[in-house]
Structures are given as structure tokens and as C-alpha cells.
A and B are shown apart, each in its own frame.
Chain A
Amino acid sequence: MENTGIGKFAKSFGISFAITSILSALLVVLKESNEETVLAWMASITGHHWVTHGIFDLIIFAGLGWALSKLDSGQGLNISANALVIVIVSAIVVSEVIITGFYI
């Protein structure tokens, strides 16, 4: 019989991707709506707000993915492939709507 389970890193980094995407989209709204404070602070860290934004995304993605893979005594998250796909697709749609909606 065919195995339907998915690897713990696929699950943990898949969920991490979804969370990071939405946080990244929300950060776009936050920084662009507060140019004098948030955007200026992000620019002061690396010299450009977009570079800081990218580093923020990478740290969240890698850190959260690694942390989620350690859950349940190292077994990782308990989530089906169907649920993971729904979470990933939903996160992409929501992030796209937030970003494009903000700049329209």
C-alpha cells in the first residue's frame, strides 16, 4: 500500500513558508504606512529597507521551520498533505491580495 505521509521538514518548512509570507505582506503595509518610523528604522539597519525585509523573512522562515520540526519530540508537525497544500496556497493568495491591494 502506498505511503501518504510527508516528511517532517516538508511539513515544518511548508507551514513556516505560509506564516512568513503573510508576515512579510503585513510588514509591507506596516513599513510603507509608517515611512518616518518603521521604514526609516529598517533602512538604518542594513542601509535599505528591502534588504532588511529580506533578512527578516529569511530568519523567520529558517527559524520557524527549524523550530516546528522539533515539535512532538522531534517528530515535527502532524498535518496531512492536503491540509499543507491548502495552507500554502491560501498563504500565497492572501499575501498577494495584501501586497497588490496595498499598492493599487
Chain B
Amino acid sequence: MENILLLSHPALGGLATLSALWVFVDTLNVREATMSRIKNVSLLCAVLMWLTYFLGGYYYLVYYAADKAIIKAGPWAFGHGFFMETKEHVFLMLLLLATLLPIVTAGDLFNNKGSRKVALWVAGLIVPLSLSMEGSGAVISIAVKVGLLFKGQGG
């Protein structure tokens, strides 16, 4: 069960990132006919980010304590001390930013330059923030692996 959770969390996060990228590119080339699609994909991005939050949060609360102990006892203790601590708190900001996306794309993006600019920035900021979360998750996973190898070698 925990491995499914662990895989679903970054997979859904990756799909949320792609949705934000989709909104960014679609907004750059917005036409009246594409506005409803932008609204729908914005909403999809927010929903995927919330699912990412709930699945990752559940894993963090229920299963992560064992991983944390392994990481902290191993040579990559920064995997928890910096990457996990930063990730769990920056993600809260990313979640709100993804929630803001369908709110800003609810306006008339085709006829309204201001709404278009805000939508581009919000969608554009979600992408690097999400990628930094994916990268941090990768470091945390490797930190567990390094910790287990260290433990196996009698460390």
C-alpha cells in the first residue's frame, strides 16, 4: 500500500505540473474558442495538486517516520534535515498557488490583457516550484537508499 502511495504522489504531481504548463502555453495562444479549455485544465491542475497533497500527506503522516529514522542515521541526513523539511512547507505554498490558478483563469483571458498576464505568471510559477518538489522527492528517496546501504554495511 505504501509503495503505491509513494508512486502516486510524484506521478500526480507530474501531471499537475504538465497541466500548469498546458495552461501557460494555451494562454500564450488564447482564442475565444480555447478559453473554456484553459479553465478546465486550470481546474484539473488544482484538483491534481490537491490529490498530490492528500496522498503525499497521508504517506508522510503514516509511513514516513521509518524513512526519517533511516535517513537521519545515514550519511545523507540532509535528505530530511533540508530537503524534506523544505519540501513539506514549500508544498503548502504551491498548493495555494495551484488553487489560485482556476480563480485567475475564470476571467476573460482573450479580451483582457491583465487577466492573461496574471494567469501566465501563476501557471508559469507553478512549473518550477513543482519541479523543485519532484527533485526534492528524488533526493529524499536516494537518502533512504543510501541510509539502508549504510546500515547494511554495519554503519
A interface residues with partner B (beta carbon < 8 Å) = 2-7, 9-10, 13-14, 17, 20-21, 24-25, 28, 32, 48, 50-51, 53-54, 57-58, 61, 80-82, 84-85, 88-89, 92, 95-96, 99-100, 103-104
Return the contact of B114 from the options A5, A32, A53, A61 (Cβ within 8 A): A5
A48 cross-chain contacts in B, Cβ below 8 A: 61
Bound together, the chains give a CA A104 to CA B82 distance in angstroms of 6
Bound together, the chains give a CA A24 to CA B97 distance in angstroms of 13
Bound together, the chains give a CA A89 to CA B97 distance in angstroms of 11
B2 cross-chain contacts in A, Cβ below 8 A: none
Bound together, the chains give a CA A17 to CA B101 distance in angstroms of 11
Interface residues on B, range: 20 to 34
Query: A12: nearest residue on chain B (CB-CB)?
Result: B103
Are A81 and B117 closer than 8 Å at their CB atoms? yes
B interface residues with partner A (beta carbon < 8 Å) = 53, 57, 60-61, 81-82, 85-86, 88-90, 92-93, 95-97, 99-100, 103-104, 106-108, 111-115, 117-118, 121-122, 125, 129
A4-B112, A6-B112, A17-B100 given as contacts; is B89 within 8 A of A85 (CB)? no
Return the contact of B92 from the options A4, A9, A53 (Cβ within 8 A): A53
A-B pairs with CB below 8 Å: how many? 104
Are B118 and A6 closer than 8 Å at their CB atoms? yes
Bound together, the chains give a CA A32 to CA B88 distance in angstroms of 13
Are B82 and A92 closer than 8 Å at their CB atoms? no
Are B118 and A2 closer than 8 Å at their CB atoms? no
Listed from nearest, the 10 A-B pairs whose CB atoms lie closest are: A81-B114, A6-B114, A7-B107, A10-B104, A4-B114, A21-B93, A3-B112, A85-B121, A81-B117, A103-B85
Are A3 and B90 closer than 8 Å at their CB atoms? no
Query: B115: nearest residue on chain A (CB-CB)?
Result: A6
In the complex, which of the residues A4, A7, A100 has the most CB atoms of chain B within 10 Å of its own CB atom? A7
Bound together, the chains give a CA A81 to CA B115 distance in angstroms of 7
Are B96 and A57 closer than 8 Å at their CB atoms? yes
**What would 13 A/B residue contacts be, using CB atoms closer than 8 Å?**
A3-B114, A4-B113, A9-B103, A13-B103, A25-B93, A28-B89, A48-B61, A50-B60, A81-B115, A84-B118, A85-B118, A88-B122, A100-B90
Are A61 and B99 closer than 8 Å at their CB atoms? yes
